[in-house]
Amino acid sequence: MHNYPSPHYPARCKRTHRICELQAGEFAVLAGRLVGRDSLSDETGAVRLCFNTAHEARAGDIVEVEGRFEDDVFCASVLRVLVPSRSTAGSLTRDVQAILHKRANIIAGIRRFFDEKGFIEVETPLMVPQPGMEPHLEAFRTTYEMRQFYLHTSPEYAMKRLLAAGFERIYQVCKVFRHEPVGRMHTPEFTMIEWYRAFADYTDIMVDTEYLIAELATDLYGEPVVRTGQCAVDLTPPWERISVRTAMLRYAGIAADPYLETADFIRQAGHETVDEDDPPDVAFFKVFLDRVEPHLGVQKPAILYDYPAPMAALAKRKSNAPDLAERFEVYIAGVELCNAFTELNDPDEQRQRLEEEAAQRVREGNPAYPIDERFLAALEYGMPPSGGIALGVDRLVMLLTGASSIGEVMAFPVSDP
């Protein structure tokens, strides 16, 4: 049985300064972790130590030292161990700590950007009775008091209910959950920002996105540029706008629509990656990922817009081209960063599309999810013409910090077992 309190874990610390606050000739009490035998580190930096007397602290111990700072060296007259270190399991490298500080600054910058533009930050439930219906997404399932719930794949339905209730400019930074493999660009738990503007469309959201990302980069580096490897991408607005049809023709030599002219699309694509029995969406993505995506956003970010209508179940169709939907994605250095729409607000058409997606999920052997009737009821009440977007914060931080994967910009990334 232990006798508490333990003298090895004192409850008080007399620290007067953090390392970044040291002034030459000033007496100070510092606290931090010993690095080796002659350096002290805290969150703000590191300082070399010299000791007037011997001590028994070991590398890794959290200690308190008293003394003076002279000639870039802290001369310690007293050292006291606050917490002995018995493991290296909790350590983070300085590089990881630097990225996490930048991540915090980026998220603070996101909030500042929208707060200054009159947006209201909102919170919606993470645990919902109906997740997103997209056929390619699988939600995590849980139960509460014999009822089935899901961790949301997006806050979109709930945020649109707020638009219908009268909010006009809203944003949310939140965790979302998708049952997908861990990879360079994917993890089952990640951070998303979504924002919606009533009485706006996808062209307004394009402008928001350009200026948000350019401003965040400028806050970090003093200029609107991101560097990934040997590539420097100029973020100065306006960005390149290229339609899906133009991009498919320019980079893949394909003019046919995969949904309206499936046979011609497959013939033009060739058979290196596309099979004759591929459904239209699979054929499209095979060509797009192999031949188009690597060319997007290399020198300037690219806004890829106007997707085939079946590929945007929550977006309005174009009034002058109903086979297309007012949807866009942003690519920077080949990385897809966000997905945005002019939001569909016709409740009858929205119900039909959700039912079609539900049927597709069953055909493809995916879990069947119930349709969110509260979302449809909000559309029945009336949601104003709106534009909205979902942007991956982890991918954005990855680009802005030069990291090679989103796991590098998370304090506790999900590991692949």
Q: Which two tokens stand for residue 376?
A: 């449809």
The fold for domain 19-83 equals: OB fold (Dihydrolipoamide Acetyltransferase, E2P) (2.40.50)
Query: Backbone dihedral region of 88: left (phi > 0), alpha (psi from -120 to 50 degrees) or beta?
Result: alpha
Indicate if the alpha-carbon torsion angle 278, 391, 233, 188 is positive or negative: negative
Taking the C-alpha atoms of residue 391 and residue 191, their distance in angstroms, rounded to an integer, is 9
Taking the C-alpha atoms of residue 156 and residue 125, their distance in angstroms, rounded to an integer, is 11
Taking the C-alpha atoms of residue 257 and residue 260, their distance in angstroms, rounded to an integer, is 5
Beta-carbon contacts of 411 under 8 Å, excluding residues fewer than 6 positions away, are 92, 96, 100
Q: Which two tokens stand for residue 348?
A: 């009858």
Contact predicate 240/302, CB 8 Å: yes
| CB burial of residue 219 (10 Å; 0-12, 13-18, 19+) | middle
CA distances from 343 to 202, 242, 354 (A): 8, 20, 14
| Best CA proximity match to 213, nearest among 395, 375, 342, 361 | 395
Contact predicate 292/329, CB 8 Å: no
* The model's pTM: 0.93
pLDDT number for residue 2: 56
Please give the span between the terminal C-alpha atoms of the chain, in angstroms, as a whole number: 37
Instruction: Please count the other Cβ atoms lying within 10 Å of the Cβ belonging to residue 257.
Output: 19
pLDDT number for residue 37: 83
The CATH number given to 94-239+300-409 is 3.30.930.10
pLDDT number for residue 334: 87
pLDDT number for residue 229: 77
pLDDT number for residue 3: 62
Taking the C-alpha atoms of residue 322 and residue 346, their distance in angstroms, rounded to an integer, is 14
pLDDT number for residue 5: 65
Strand runs labelled E in 86-159: 120-121, 127-128, 141-144, 147-151
pLDDT number for residue 211: 98
Per-residue tens of pLDDT for the chain, all 417 residues: 556 666 778 989 999 999 999 999 999 999 999 998 899 999 999 999 999 888 889 999 999 999 999 999 999 999 999 999 988 777 788 889 999 999 999 999 999 999 999 999 999 999 999 998 898 899 999 999 999 999 999 999 999 999 999 999 999 999 999 999 999 999 999 999 999 999 999 999 999 999 999 999 999 999 999 998 778 999 999 999 999 999 999 999 999 999 999 999 989 988 788 998 898 989 999 999 999 999 999 999 999 999 999 999 899 999 999 999 999 999 999 899 999 999 999 999 999 999 999 999 999 899 989 999 999 999 999 999 999 999 999 999 999 999 999 999 999 998 766
Domain locations in the chain as residue ranges:
19-83, 94-239+300-409
Question: Cis before residue 238, ω within 30 degrees of 0?
Answer: yes
pLDDT number for residue 225: 95
CA distances from 284 to 241, 304, 407 (A): 20, 14, 29
Q: Are strands 62-70 and 73-83 parallel, antiparallel or unpaired?
A: antiparallel
Taking the C-alpha atoms of residue 126 and residue 150, their distance in angstroms, rounded to an integer, is 8
